[in-house]
């Protein structure tokens, strides 16, 4: 598995240190606010679990799953596969996502949750790939910016694989250019 990685971008130690920093920013902001954390499956699972253990305030944890159509005509169309089980009306929401790429997924989710009456919405993303942005959306909290390459590890996958790598790296092109 490690042989498929071209370059390690952020080691486990670097990721953990950055999570400490993000968590302390969130902990200052969210004291007594009782937010709902909305984790976007499956990519954000590892990030979410490691983050919430560092958050020192009362919260609820819930998750959604989404998929994007890629039929050539409707690029950027996103569909909800698994909905929340928490009522977020008048609740502050923190969306936790693995990476913002084109931005379509997060734009769709922000509009959905606004429509349900969320009191406020913050986006917390482990990674940001600004080179590929199509939708007008930015994260409020970002772990690291990444280059325009295919990234895996720490929850991010290629074809369902590599999510369990404890670091963030660039996947070798040879793995997907076959
Ligand atoms: P977006 O809607 O294009 O912003 O990206 C949505 C999803 O695509 C993310 O939540 C990831 O699951 C996936 N994704 C985007 N870029 C990468 C990558 O470099 N590696 C793995 N997954 C990615
Ligand atoms: Mg995702």
Secondary structure string (H, E, C) spanning 8-72: EEECHHHHHHHHHHHHHHHHHHCCCCCCEEEEEECCCHHHHHHHHCCCCCCCEEEEEEEEECCCC
* 64 CA distance to ligand 2 middle (Å): 10
Q: How far, in Å, is the centroid of ligand 1 from the Cα of 164? A: 16
Kindly report, residue by residue over 139-161, the tens digit of the pLDDT: 999 999 999 999 999 999 999 99
**Does residue 62 carry a catalytic annotation?**
no
CATH number of the domain within which 88 lies: 3.40.50.2020
Residue 152 included in any domain: no
Q: Is residue 33 part of a domain?
A: yes
156 lines ligand 1 (CB under 6 A): yes
pLDDT tens string, the chain, 178 residues long: the values are 999 999 999 999 999 999 999 999 999 999 999 999 999 999 999 999 999 999 999 999 999 999 987 655 556 789 999 999 999 999 999 999 999 999 999 999 999 999 999 999 999 999 999 999 999 999 999 999 999 999 999 999 999 999 999 999 999 999 999 7
Could you write out the DSSP letters of every residue in 76-119? T-EEEEE--SS--TT-EEEEEEEEESSSHHHHHHHHHHHHTT-S
Residue 158 resides in a domain:
no
Residue 156: inside a domain: no
Q: What is the pTM of this model?
A: 0.96
Q: How far apart are CA 60 and CA 141, in angstroms?
A: 19
Residue 97 Cβ < 6 Å to ligand 1: yes
Asked whether residue 169 is assigned to any structural domain, the reply reads no
* 175 part of a folded domain: no
Structural domains of the chain, count: 1
Which structural domain, as residue segments, surrounds residue 130? Answer: 18-67+76-147
Residue 6 within a domain: no
Q: Choose the catalytic residue: 4, 20, 62, 101.
A: 101
In a domain, 22, yes or no: yes
Give the whole-angstrom CA distance, residue 39 versus residue 32.
21
């Amino acid at each position: 598995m490690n042989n498929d990685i071209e370059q390690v971008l952020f080691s486990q130690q670097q990721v953990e240190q950055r999570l400490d920093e993000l968590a302390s920013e969130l902990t200052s902001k969210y004291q007594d606010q009782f937010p709902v954390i909305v984790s976007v499956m499956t990519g954000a699972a590892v990030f979410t679990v490691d983050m919430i253990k560092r958050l020192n305030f009362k919260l609820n944890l819930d998750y959604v799953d989404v998929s994007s159509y890629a039929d050539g005509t409707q690029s950027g169309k996103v569909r909800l596969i698994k909905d929340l089980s928490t009522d977020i009306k008048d609740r502050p929401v923190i969306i936790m996502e693995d990476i913002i790429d084109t931005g379509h997924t997060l734009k769709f989710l922000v509009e959905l949750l606004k429509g349900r009456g969320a009191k406020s919405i913050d986006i917390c993303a482990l990674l940001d790939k600004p080179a590929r942005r199509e939708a007008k959306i930015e994260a409020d909290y970002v772990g690291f910016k990444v280059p325009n390459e295919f990234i895996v590890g720490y929850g991010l996958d290629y074809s369902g694989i590599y999510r369990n790598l404890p670091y963030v790296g660039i996947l070798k092109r040879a793995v997907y250019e076959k």
